[in-house]
Structure 1
Amino acid sequence: MSDRPAFPGVPHRQPVFNVPGAVAVIALGLVMIHAARVLLLSEDGDIEVLTYFAFIPARYTLPDSMFYLPGGLGPKLWTVVSYALLHANWMHLIVNLVWLLAFGTPVARRFGSLRFALFCAVTAAAGAGAHYLAYPDALAPLIGASAAVSGTMAAAVRFAFAPGGALSSRRSLFADHQPAGSLIENFRDGRVLVFVGAWFALNLLFAFGMSMPGVEDASIAWQAHVGGFLAGLLLFALFDPVPRRRVA
């Protein structure tokens, strides 16, 4: 019997640490950025960081003469992604890290490091876009990796319930590399509908004012969550390197 992997690029043996390198690097980067803000910057210095790297909708809508937001064109380009690297406090960061490790891990294994990093950037940008549509004149900064994490949740559900997937009745040895069905096929699966329904129900609670532990003094940008999640669902196939499952 051959011990060769069933899918190209899948390692023969499971690594000692099951977190993919891309997820580990992103998680470590988020921790280091927040630690630097908390330990090294003054309050004024941290506010300056927010003006350069947080997503602020008013930057794109209101005349520059109405407020002070430094940086010119640059922040208009990079803040649609860089805001995801900043967090309100340690609890906000920890919550996002837990979900990133849970859902980003299978997606990163499937996509590979480069695709995964690009996918996170695209879903973060989609979250910023959804937030902008909801609050085009807002001066309050949007920060946090929640939109990108929501994107990984959506991507994971596209293949986790597939035959042989991690949440299927018969999990395969290479569960994260099983062929996924189309979006239409996914939504014919009651388990997918339950997961997606529960996810939207939770965010509906956020819309009605429910807060998370540690961030009670800040509003939750649920629109950004929805933007990232929908982008993850709809754009999954553009990033997926595994051939689509054939349906007889």
Structure 2
Amino acid sequence: MAWKQETSIALATVLSLLSVTFYQMIIDMGFLDFTPIAFLSIIPKIADHPDQIHRFITSAWLHANWIHVLGNILVIALAGVPLEQRMGKLRWILVYFLGLIGGNLAWVLTHPDSISPALGASGAAFGILGAYMACWPNDRIEFPLLFFIRAWPVWGIVAFRLGIEVWNMYQIEAGQSVTNVAHMAHLGGFMLAWILARPIARGAPSELDDSSDISIAGSAASKAARDAATAKMGSLESDPWSEARVGLKEEAARILKRLRDEGDELETRRAWLEELAEQVICPVCDGEVHAVISGQNCTLKCSHSKNHINWP
């Protein structure tokens, strides 16, 4: 449903985590004779059994309590949404699952004899941070850090969150702290996504290492930067399909008209260009067309050659 309606996959994931936690709490009240943690959480001791493989995925939708799930969805929403805008839906889903699988693998490999259940989407959340750090470390996103909610650089958020994890792991190893938090899973999710993110992000809507200020609400760049980006917006009077005498389908033609009528603002133009990219093909080679974001500007480019289409 989220895919068809162009809803953010990151926000749909947040909703799914909240929904599962809600039903989990209802079950825990005794309304059903079923214990989700017993059947769906990751238990290292039995993780290598073929009939238990599902736990590597299902455990990421279980949480110990509301504080646990809210801590994870905070990262998935605030960092996941702009990362999805950068990478696109399919790549984002791949990164998310790399994070959760990497986290569970790290926990199983470092605690092979444990029979304590591990659960939560923390590995996936840290995987999002790992992928963002690998591809667009200088992006600034709205995030609560050091008691302030403001636009922080991704590298700063990662340094702070990873620093806390490393410190906690040191405290545990030194015997100065005892916890039921799977810090190694956090690190495992981060590392696997960080290692593989750049190859995955090749060909994504945004160029690697391009940086801007991004949040769920959109760009938060300064007025001067916004004015400069507005000045760079190309003309919409002509288009590659008209010039190539290639007809557009009804939906594509409707979107193109809306783009021309309403595309004088950066965010509006980007939204219509992204929709148009999903409805058209390259007039030269019939290849896919991608909406490529550079800073605050958006252009349509052919997936095969930038010489075919680079508009507007």
Partner of 1:227: 188
Matching residue's letter, 2:16: G
Residue 123 (1) aligns with residue 99 (2): yes
Partner of 1:74: 51
Matches within 5 A, 1:67-216: 73-75=50-52, 77-162=53-138, 165-166=139-140, 196-207=158-169, 208=171
Q: Shift of residue 123 of structure 1?
A: 1.2
Task: Write 1 or 2 for the structure with the bigger share of strand.
Answer: 2
Q: Shift of residue 118 of structure 1?
A: 2.1
C-alpha distance in structure 1 between counterparts of 2:199 and 2:55, whole Å: 24
C-alpha distance in structure 1 between counterparts of 2:99 and 2:132, whole Å: 13
C-alpha distance in structure 1 between counterparts of 2:19 and 2:32, whole Å: 16
Matching residue's letter, 2:51: G
1:58–1:138 CA contact under 8 A, matched in 2: yes
Greater relative contact order: 1 or 2 (C-alpha under 8 angstroms, separation 6 or more)? Answer: 1
TM-score w.r.t. structure 1 length? 0.65
C-alpha distance in structure 2 between counterparts of 1:158 and 1:102, whole Å: 17
Q: Which moved more, 1:79-88 or 1:236-245?
A: 236-245
2:27–2:35 CA contact under 8 A, matched in 1: no
2:24–2:62 CA contact under 8 A, matched in 1: no
TM-score w.r.t. structure 2 length? 0.53
C-alpha distance in structure 2 between counterparts of 1:109 and 1:192, whole Å: 15
SS of aligned partner of 1:140: coil
SS of aligned partner of 1:200: helix
Whose Rg is larger?
A: 2
Unaligned runs of 5+ in 1: 1-18, 62-71, 168-190, 210-216
SS of aligned partner of 1:219: coil
Matches within 5 A, 1:11-30: 21-30=8-17
Aligned length: 186
Matching residue's letter, 1:74: D
1:47-84 CA distances to partner (integer Å, 9 max, x unpaired)? 632122111100046xxxxxxxxxx7332x22112211
Q: Shift of residue 101 of structure 1?
A: 1.1
C-alpha distance in structure 2 between counterparts of 1:198 and 1:192, whole Å: 10
Matching residue's letter, 1:203: E
Partner of 2:36: 49
Unaligned runs of 5+ in 2: 1-5, 142-152, 173-177, 211-312
Over aligned residues, Cα RMSD in angstroms? Answer: 3.0
1:97-120 CA distances to partner (integer Å, 9 max, x unpaired)? 111111111111122222212221
C-alpha distance in structure 2 between counterparts of 1:148 and 1:238, whole Å: 18
Matching residue's letter, 1:202: I
Partner of 2:198: 237
C-alpha distance in structure 1 between counterparts of 2:168 and 2:93, whole Å: 27
1:150–1:225 CA contact under 8 A, matched in 2: yes
Task: Write 1 or 2 for the structure with the bigger share of helix.
Answer: 1
SS of aligned partner of 1:109: helix
- 1:79 to 1:243, Cα distance in 2 relative to 1, 3 A: same
Matching residue's letter, 1:226: L
- 1:82 to 1:238, Cα distance in 2 relative to 1, 3 A: farther
1:150–1:229 CA contact under 8 A, matched in 2: yes
2:102–2:185 CA contact under 8 A, matched in 1: yes
